[in-house]
Structure 1
């Protein structure tokens, strides 16, 4: 018996007939009677086998990692197919007779519309496991990168020491961080990161050393241009905290990829170059998703062969399971499905004594 997969790209789940006591290799069920009679008929109870499925194998982080990599991988595969088709179409327009149906501008319009529609569903299709920078993580962990005007690498490296007070809508109290130009930029970024982490804002440096701020993608509307900063009259004015601009970093697939180019060969070549760059970016993300999936699956396999669950580990697993169940949306299903898979009625009875 098979159960159809609930997620695209995942294999069907097969119920093990032996595990349920109905298959060819299953032991016959005890005859009806009282519990004592059934126990006497079976003889002395055998030692219980260690748990090899269910909560023993429940690892919230790795289960989420597997789910995120699978969802992102399916989405990236479809995205790559669309980009490849668009590149072939542009190549045909440049190298073939424009009068041919396969090289028509209308055909390119259809491909671009499909790509745009697919990209707009990225967050929903991957359950928040893939962000606009094509970083792969756990479901619901996608983040939105942005800058903060006035907090550049140059601003952190020059001027005098200054205490910054940051106000956000979700902070119970103002947050403070001290910027000291005599320290390395990396040290100042760590100070900002530690000060802003309680409200979900993280800070890091990009490849050029410029500060990059990020928040959970789902919460971006609450932060966009709604952060207020008060300084000491050096980088930011003293007195009342003032709103600062927080421009979002552009996504890997910029809007230009979905826009129609001109009919001139030069414009088509530029469009072809943009699509080629997008194909390379998606290919890199596909490799990262595959590597993450293999890593998490190996970790789960090692956990499945671990020693018998101790009471301490059982409590920790139960606590983690309860936390997952308290979360809304996909996390709830993602916690329950792998945990209850393969738990038979006979196993439940044996556990309940």
Structure 2
């Protein structure tokens, strides 16, 4: 019988062949030998390495699940607070009751929750509750004068666009007659991408810019452009105003001072709740999809010979005496609650 040397950290010391247990003889070490033929030479086998399911997941997959769960938690909390606020407002309006502090408290509570959106969601939800697992939440904005109608007309011109200030943030965009709208948008996007700003076409023919929310304060106050006098003035860089896209929810505008303001606030709360619930449904779909990918990528547990091994172990354990006790204690070394829970979670 081949004795496999084990580290003392497992609780099993390295001894001579005299310490071989009946469980080893039964085949626990991997030798498919009959219990009555322990003296026959066993075929040396190498035990399959212990594989932990979670450690075999791809890191991006784990990040997707974690990000989606954070977003779900934030949206569920927001939805619950909005439902409570909606109920209180409707009750007050039905009874034509004036403010008593409860509604104002709920408005402040949700306002605080909304202010913590970026931190609470792990940066996965932007101001319009658009979920992004792989990239940080972005801030969309427009820039005054950056419309396709203004940019497509005129002779050839090279624009120098500054983002973030300094020479490193200076980018060139070449415009000429005959460019399509998609080509104009593509040139701006290609020029500004190294500065962390992406560009796409808006619904009303304007350029819509986006950057990471962390980068937005630096971008907001530093966009400037210099032309040759065709579309934009020549000379020094001219500062352009960047306007952030309006957020989906604006609790700072909710007023409850009188019946009319409470009625308007109720409408805004209902719209906010509808927006939050729609976002929650989409993120839950993302979470379910990521969970299914995780389950399909979990390594299959080696099951060959397990039933036979269990039968042999049960037979040995029924026999009274020292050998039976030694087999049981050896098998249970290293078993703890965490390992049992981890194995059961794989079912």
Q: Common fold, TM-score beyond 0.5?
A: yes
Matched, 1:282 2:276: yes
Matched with 1:57 is: 57
Q: Which of 29, 32, 39 is the aligned partner of 2:13?
A: 32
CA contact (8 A) 2:139 2:212 kept: yes
**Offset of 1:174 from its aligned partner?**
2.2
1:41-87, CA deviations, whole angstroms, 9 ceiling, x for partnerless residues? Answer: 85623253585635532232x22221111101110111111111221
Matched with 2:239 is: 243
Q: Which of 203, 217, 233 is the aligned partner of 2:213?
A: 217
Name the SS of the counterpart of 2:244 in structure 1: coil
CA contact (8 A) 1:180 1:188 kept: no
**Would the alpha carbon gap of residues 90 and 173 (structure 1) be closer, same or farther in structure 2, given more than 3 Å must change?**
closer
**Offset of 1:35 from its aligned partner?**
10
**Offset of 1:203 from its aligned partner?**
1.0
**Offset of 1:123 from its aligned partner?**
1.1
Q: What aligned pairs does 1:325-336 form with structure 2 within 5 A after superposition?
A: none
**Would the alpha carbon gap of residues 63 and 221 (structure 1) be closer, same or farther in structure 2, given more than 3 Å must change?**
same
1:79-98, CA deviations, whole angstroms, 9 ceiling, x for partnerless residues? Answer: 11111122112211221141
Matched with 1:155 is: 150
Task: Figure out how many residues of one structure are paired with residues of the other and give that number.
Answer: 276
Matched with 1:166 is: 161
Q: Which of 191, 194, 218 is the aligned partner of 1:195?
A: 191
Matched with 2:94 is: 95
**Offset of 1:236 from its aligned partner?**
1.8
**Would the alpha carbon gap of residues 36 and 118 (structure 1) be closer, same or farther in structure 2, given more than 3 Å must change?**
farther
Which whole-Å CA distance do the structure 1 matches of 2:222 and 2:274 have between them? 35
**Would the alpha carbon gap of residues 38 and 30 (structure 1) be closer, same or farther in structure 2, given more than 3 Å must change?**
farther
Matched with 1:228 is: 224
Name structure 2 gaps, 5 residues minimum: 1-9, 30-41, 301-337, 341-347
CA contact (8 A) 1:156 1:180 kept: no
**Would the alpha carbon gap of residues 288 and 35 (structure 1) be closer, same or farther in structure 2, given more than 3 Å must change?**
farther
**Would the alpha carbon gap of residues 271 and 31 (structure 1) be closer, same or farther in structure 2, given more than 3 Å must change?**
closer
CA contact (8 A) 1:65 1:137 kept: no
Matched, 1:252 2:248: yes
CA contact (8 A) 1:126 1:139 kept: no
CA contact (8 A) 1:32 1:38 kept: no
CA contact (8 A) 1:175 1:196 kept: yes
Name structure 1 gaps, 5 residues minimum: 1-28, 307-341, 345-353
Q: Which protein shows a greater Rg?
A: 2
Which whole-Å CA distance do the structure 2 matches of 1:35 and 1:236 have between them? 88
Which whole-Å CA distance do the structure 2 matches of 1:165 and 1:36 have between them? 81
1:20-56, CA deviations, whole angstroms, 9 ceiling, x for partnerless residues? Answer: xxxxxxxxx78422799999x8562325358563553
**Offset of 1:207 from its aligned partner?**
3.7
Matched with 2:126 is: 131
Q: What aligned pairs does 1:61-100 form with structure 2 within 5 A after superposition?
A: 62-98=61-97
Which whole-Å CA distance do the structure 1 matches of 2:228 and 2:195 have between them? 23
**Offset of 1:139 from its aligned partner?**
7.2
**Offset of 1:109 from its aligned partner?**
0.7
Q: What aligned pairs does 1:315-334 form with structure 2 within 5 A after superposition?
A: none
C-alpha root-mean-square deviation of aligned residues, in Å? 3.2
1:193-227, CA deviations, whole angstroms, 9 ceiling, x for partnerless residues? Answer: 11111111011223444321111111211111212
User: What is the TM-score with the length of structure 1 in the denominator?
Assistant: 0.68
**Would the alpha carbon gap of residues 218 and 46 (structure 1) be closer, same or farther in structure 2, given more than 3 Å must change?**
same
**Would the alpha carbon gap of residues 123 and 30 (structure 1) be closer, same or farther in structure 2, given more than 3 Å must change?**
closer
Which whole-Å CA distance do the structure 2 matches of 1:52 and 1:250 have between them? 46
Which whole-Å CA distance do the structure 2 matches of 1:59 and 1:228 have between them? 40
Which whole-Å CA distance do the structure 1 matches of 2:293 and 2:285 have between them? 12
